[in-house]
Amino acid sequence: MNTTLRYLVQKEFTQIRRNSFLPRLIVTFPIIIMCVAPWVMQMEVTNIVVDVVDLDHSSQSQRLVHAIEHNTYFVFRGQKHTYAEALSDIEHTDADVVMVIPRNYSKDLVRGRLPQIRIAANAVNGMKGAMGAAYLSQLVIPQSASSSTLYLYNKHLNYKLFMIPALLAIVMMMMTGFLPTLNIVSEKEAGTIEQMNVTPVSKGTFILAKLIPYWLIALFIITVCLLLSWAVYGLTPAGPLWIIYVLSMLLALFFSSLGLIISNYSDNMQQSIFIMWFFVVILLLLSGLFTPTRSMPHLAYLTTYVNPMHYFVDAIRTVFIRGGQFRDVAHQAFALLGIGLFMGGWAVQSYKKNS
Amino acid sequence: MKQFVAFVRKETKHILRDRLTVLLLFSVPVVMMLLFGFAITTDVKNVRTVVVTVYSDHATQQAVERLSQSEYFTIVRTVATPREAERIIRNQKADLAIVFEKDYASKNGGLQFIVDGADPNMSQQWTTYVSQVLMNPAGGLINTKMLYNPQMKSAYNFVPAIMGILLMLICTLMTSISIVREKERGTMEVLLVSPTRPLLMIVAKVVPYLVLGFIILNFFLLMARFVLDVPLQGSVFWIYVISTIYILLALSLGLLVSNIAKTQLAALLVCAMILLMPNFMLSGMIFPIESMPRILQWASVIIPPRYYNSALRKLMIMGVGVDQVVFELTVLIAMTLILLTLSLATFKKRLE
């Protein structure tokens, strides 16, 4: 039993190594993603281009214009004479927000009359429009002194810190998900599966031997990703490292099993890739990785209870950013284990030795 | 001409007889549109809030009442110390804590917000909302207007982007794979010894995918309009013109990939890793281009969906005239011509 398994694992590794493309992919993909993606995955709203229509021409209104010019969130585009002129800038997407300062703004302020400043934001991207308008309002009305805000865990509101645990999840998903998906189906297409089917190797051993290499690859990938996040961005997990490894291995168990299941059921690579892609997109988008799960409609929110990606993203953010201990993420870890074992069993079940 | 029609029919049968692929071709767009239209929202809703207060006096109660009545916040617990609140946030049982100081009632102030800062954007939004609800800022000083998308629905932003990505995926990936598969299986050799000219054969291979692209485009527009309530503000004619150019571009890209790749696996990986990932990340679909470092902004210049997105957002959502999208149109036409020339130049009639 043990020697069979060892030989089979050795065979899998040889197959991966002899492929001209896979070893290079396994090494370079995590490196490229970790070096490039954190710069891309910025949903930080900055560089909002502002047009100002100053109908007042007072020192008060000019002070507002200067405040915009010196604020790092904004790029001041220029002053326009009319609202229509500024609107045409928005239509060309040359500007994002227009601020109109009304006539007699400073006089009315002095008389205590509440003059209205109009802000019009391009809200095609709702998030950007809302944040742009909110930043501008804060400039006009300074925050009252009686309240203060404390941001926990991510004091500088660094978007990279939020995204790097998520990237770890994405890289794991791509590598331990897509490679097994292509594995059995490519043996089917090449015809080598026939030879496996006539050996006395049991289904369980065969599938286990297919899975083990991907777990080892997963270990390698997490290590590379964590090292890069420390070396390139200076970000290290706030919680214990071993939990991150445990969580990642559980995720690898799920995705490699899912990959093999799909591979078992499909006839050619094109099919299997499409199905995997389909699952990956759904799991990813509903995991709360990009958008908060609590904003979803109730029905969509219910799906997060069976979405392993959701448990993983939740848990790894708790450990990496918030410095959670094992008891903080225990229920996510057990959920992942449960789903992973179920999928593993299914992978063994769905492999048929007779064609 | 008869030969050409025969080839088109053969290729159509290839597609239709693969039941699973046909099923996927239509279910993927539906699922993606529904997900992005309904499930993927960044609205502030159901923010789990902890109230930290020692004296539950009238002013505090009033404030808590106001919070729980708004649809944005759900009060989950009331605790006595900020330390307890922090523990609840760390355990992911709450997102936000509001600390009412002892002098809250007397001085009408003394508030502290403790926010889970893990997600920078959302945490800033939560703070803005909570201070608006609690402090009723001097109303009337600012009048904000959200142009084109007053309810700030995420679907308005995502639908044009999804169309760009999926048309690219279907037209490029499927074309290149179907050609490479014939090479790999050896059936290409049979086709090449037939009296048809090789170029004609390739064009015939592309035609069904062109039709498919159009069917999916119509499907998208109908779903966007009638299921997701995304407006078609601008001229429908120009939406079709620019989509046609984009589909042609994707098909020529598919041809180019099939000329370079030798196996299905290579074609798949080239499409998935080299085309889809950059398209997804650099097209401005989810992540705004202007927040990226300069070098990536330059890299995004060569990404076709970037122009398609931008043009469709202008035409569909903003409803501006075609003179505002001349730039995007020109770039897309130029890219199509370049890719078509390249793919025809690298096309080999002979098998190696």
Interface test with A, best of B83, B100, B103, B121 (most A CBs within 10 A): B121
Q: Can you tell me the mean pLDDT for B110-136?
A: 78
- Give the gap in angstroms from C-alpha B307 to the nearest C-alpha of chain A: 13
Over 90: is that where the pLDDT of B245 sits? yes
Collect all residues with Cβ–Cβ distance below 8 Å to B298 and sequence separation of at least 6.
none
CA separation (Å) from A59 to A69, A104, A117? Answer: 15, 11, 16
Residues of chain A with pLDDT under 70: 1, 141-147, 354-355
Q: Give the pair of three-digit tokens for residue B320.
A: 């501006």
pTM for the full model?
0.78
Domain boundaries, chain A: 2-41+155-350, 48-140
DSSP state string for B281-338:
HHSSSSS-GGGS-HHHHHHGGG-HHHHHHHHHIIIIII---GGGGHHHHHHHHHHHHH
B144 phi and psi angles, rounded to 5 deg: -100, 140
Q: What pLDDT sits at residue A338?
A: 92
Q: Which of B31, B143, B264 sits opposite A270 (nearest CB)?
A: B264
Collect all residues with Cβ–Cβ distance below 8 Å to B151 and sequence separation of at least 6.
none
Closest CA to B315 of B254, B230, B249, B251: B230
Banded model confidence at residue B241, pLDDT cuts 50, 70, 90? very high
Task: Tell me the domains of chain B and their CATH numbers.
Answer: 2-40+153-346 (no CATH), 47-135 (3.40.1710.10)
Q: Is B100 helix (H, G, I), strand (E, B) or coil?
A: strand
- pLDDT tens digits along A212-231: 888 888 999 999 999 998 98
Closest CA to A228 of A219, A236, A239: A236
- pLDDT tens digits along B74-101: 888 888 888 888 888 887 888 888 888 7
Banded model confidence at residue B141, pLDDT cuts 50, 70, 90? low
Residues A133/B94, Cβ–Cβ less than 8 Å: no
Q: Report CB contact under 8 Å: A128, B288.
A: yes
User: Among all chains, which residue has been given the structure tokens 């290729």?
Assistant: B11
In this structure, which topology does domain A48-140 adopt according to CATH?
abc type-2 transporter like fold (3.40.1710)
Neighbours of B220 (CB within 10 A): 21
Closest CA to A167 of A281, A274, A325, A36: A36
Q: What pLDDT sits at residue B335?
A: 93
Q: Can you tell me the mean pLDDT for B250-257?
A: 90
Interface test with B, best of A47, A77, A274 (most B CBs within 10 A): A274
pLDDT-wise least confident of A334-348, B111-125, B209-223: B111-125
Q: What pLDDT sits at residue B197?
A: 80
Percent of chain B with pLDDT over 70: 94
Over 80: is that where the pLDDT of B302 sits? yes
Q: Can you tell me the mean pLDDT for B191-200?
A: 79
No. of helices (H) and no. of strands (E), chain B: 16, 5
Compare B110 and B127 and report the one with higher pLDDT: B127
Residues B120/A321, Cβ–Cβ less than 8 Å: no
No. of helices (H) and no. of strands (E), chain A: 14, 5
Banded model confidence at residue B247, pLDDT cuts 50, 70, 90? very high
Q: What pLDDT sits at residue A141?
A: 66
Q: What pLDDT sits at residue A147?
A: 66
Collect all residues with Cβ–Cβ distance below 8 Å to B70 and sequence separation of at least 6.
B133
